[in-house]
Chains A and B, each alone.
Chain A
Amino acid sequence: MSEGIENKKVPREPLFSKKNKKLVTEPLADNNPVTIQVLGICSALAITVQVEQGVVMGGAVLFVLVLGNLIISLLRNLIPSRIRIIVQLVVVAALVIIVNEVLKAFLPDVSEKLSVFVGLIITNCIIMGRFEAFAMANKPWPSIMDGIGNGLGYAGLLILVAVFRELFGSGSLYGVKLLGSNIPGEEWGLYTMGYVNNNMMILPPMALIIVGIIIWVQRSRNKSLIEEH
């Protein structure tokens, strides 16, 4: 599975070599962790009702992924292969708990928003998947790049799905009422003309269908991604 091959004794690469840049840019589209690698779906569906949540969750995963990839990559020659899954899980969990405890003490408002996701971050397969597929076999620097790439790819997809769901489900974007207001007594905008929010968008199954459509669009544009069946 590991895309990178460890280069021993190869002259040092520049920090932003083509290969390293590719590590960041690939997951943004053609190797997106959610739509192509099928990782991290659980959380992608559960928390994309509003853009704000997507941003918070994406940021948190990005942070944990980069840091975790770095730690695992540094430890990669020390971890006994038989217990490597447990070790990876412990590293993720410890990181997430540390982040949450620190936020709770210093930025309580952010922590309140995030606390619902803490469990979701730990169980996010993206993190484990990248540890196993990349960080276990690569040097720290490429691992960090891989973390950034996949974290951004994940966050990007979350936000994309959330934009659709929030706009059509609640008529707003990032909490800003774009289509008007439907509060009884003070309607304005589209709602005065009889527009109604699509409550279906807020319900979880629509997230699946939107992701399905995004996959559809992506694969129509890039035929090489099409599966046989």
Chain B
Amino acid sequence: METTLDIFIKAIFSENMIFAYFLGMCSYLAVSKTVKTAVGLGAAVIFVLVVTVPVNYLLENYLLKEGALEWLNPAWVDIDLSFLSFIMFIAVVASIVQLVEMLVEKFAPALYGALGIFLPLIAVNCSILGGALFMQDRQYSTIGDATAFSLGSGIGWFIAIVAIAAIREKIRYSNVPAPLRGLGITFIITGLMGMAFMSFSGIKYADDTKKKAKVNVADPNTNSSITVDPGNTLNAAVGNTNIINKED
């Protein structure tokens, strides 16, 4: 079975929000000119993801999913409100961002000074809603898993934006062709970084590792654990994360 740690590590590296899914690219490109602002926005994204995903998880499991209303009234077991999920998730994200902004402003002015200007930006950051939608799609079995996923995704996003900001700070001293300066070169660098991150996902060498990792394919008693899991393979392939493949 997929462990919580597994989900966490996967969310940082192989399923990195920026490099694997391109979520939150707009603010990633706009706010990565200096490392300082990048750290601020990155921290704000981690924070908001960790708060919103568990809330949306509860919402999904106790309100929206088919059968989710059973705890209120057994007769409502057939109600399926999942068509409302987009709108609910968005409302939750936007209102939590607003709420957090107010609370931080009131109780931690210093933190507000550092994060404040980024919070409104975050409401429209696709990675936040993306986090909620992935959570829904992957059906995490506990709220702990969902939180681990959100923390991992946030950290992955943080790493990505800080890395590009550091590169952009340095590239100022390089002789980049004029038309490519700024946005153009940032795109290309992000592409190259994306390729580097792809090596985490074991694109081509999944084949050999699968044999090791998935010996139990034909065992009917363990049906539940044999989902094909690209992340798992990758970790086996990279070979530096033995913790993750406990079961083999």
The answer to whether A and B interact is yes
A residues with a Cβ closer than 8 A to B are 35, 38-43, 45-46, 83, 85-86, 89-90, 93-94, 96-97, 101, 118-119, 122-125, 128-129, 203-209, 211-213, 215-220, 223, 225-229
Q: Determine the residue in chain B with the shortest Cβ distance to A227.
A: B182
Write out the residue numbers on chain B whose beta carbons fall within 8 Å of the beta carbon of A229: 172, 181-182
Report the bound CA distance from A85 to B128 in whole Å: 15
Q: List 9 A-B contacts (CB under 8 A).
A: A38-B30, A41-B26, A45-B22, A46-B22, A204-B22, A204-B194, A215-B184, A220-B179, A226-B178
What count of chain B residues pass the 8 Å CB interface test? 46
Q: Determine the residue in chain A with the shortest Cβ distance to B184.
A: A215
Report the bound CA distance from A214 to B186 in whole Å: 13
Report the bound CA distance from A129 to B126 in whole Å: 12
Report the bound CA distance from A96 to B133 in whole Å: 15
Report the bound CA distance from A229 to B33 in whole Å: 9
Report the bound CA distance from A101 to B82 in whole Å: 12
B205 at the interface (CB under 8 A from A): no
Nearest 10 Cβ contacts at the A-B interface: A227-B182, A212-B187, A208-B191, A205-B194, A219-B179, A123-B126, A212-B188, A41-B25, A209-B191, A215-B184
Task: Please tell me if the beta carbons of A228 and B182 are within 8 angstroms of each other in the complex.
Answer: yes
B238 at the interface (CB under 8 A from A): no
Task: Please tell me if the beta carbons of B90 and A90 are within 8 angstroms of each other in the complex.
Answer: yes
Q: Determine the residue in chain A with the shortest Cβ distance to B21.
A: A46
A interface, by DSSP: helix, strand, loop or mixed? helix
A216-B184, A218-B179, A219-B184 are known contacts; what are 8 more A-B pairs with Cβ within 8 Å? A38-B29, A85-B124, A90-B87, A208-B191, A211-B187, A219-B180, A223-B179, A227-B182
Task: Please tell me if the beta carbons of A125 and B179 are within 8 angstroms of each other in the complex.
Answer: no
B51 at the interface (CB under 8 A from A): no
Report the bound CA distance from A109 to B151 in whole Å: 37
Report the bound CA distance from A82 to B186 in whole Å: 34
Residues 84 to 127 of chain B near chain A (Cβ within 8 Å): 86-87, 90-91, 94-95, 98, 120, 123-124, 126
Residues 159 to 216 of chain B near chain A (Cβ within 8 Å): 172, 177-188, 190-195, 198, 203
Q: Determine the residue in chain A with the shortest Cβ distance to B94.
A: A86
Write out the residue numbers on chain A whose beta carbons fall within 8 Å of the beta carbon of B183: 35, 38, 215, 227
How distant is B35 from chain A, measured CB to nearest CB, in Å? Answer: 15
Report the bound CA distance from A88 to B145 in whole Å: 31
Task: Please tell me if the beta carbons of B126 and A125 are within 8 angstroms of each other in the complex.
Answer: yes
B231 at the interface (CB under 8 A from A): no
Write out the residue numbers on chain B whose beta carbons fall within 8 Å of the beta carbon of A38: 26, 29-30, 183
Write out the residue numbers on chain A whose beta carbons fall within 8 Å of the beta carbon of B172: 229
B154 at the interface (CB under 8 A from A): no
Write out the residue numbers on chain B whose beta carbons fall within 8 Å of the beta carbon of A209: 187-188, 191-192
How distant is B22 from chain A, measured CB to nearest CB, in Å? Answer: 4
Given contacts A42-B22, A215-B187, contact A208 B86 (CB under 8 A): no
Task: Please tell me if the beta carbons of B190 and A208 are within 8 angstroms of each other in the complex.
Answer: yes
Q: Determine the residue in chain B with the shortest Cβ distance to A220.
A: B179
Report the bound CA distance from A129 to B183 in whole Å: 18
Write out the residue numbers on chain A whose beta carbons fall within 8 Å of the beta carbon of B130: 119, 123
Map CB proximity to A onto B10-41 as digits: 1 under 8 Å, 0 otherwise.
00000000011111111001100000000000
Residue from A35, A86, A94, A220 having most chain B Cβ neighbours under 10 A: A86
Q: Determine the residue in chain B with the shortest Cβ distance to A205.
A: B194
B63 at the interface (CB under 8 A from A): no
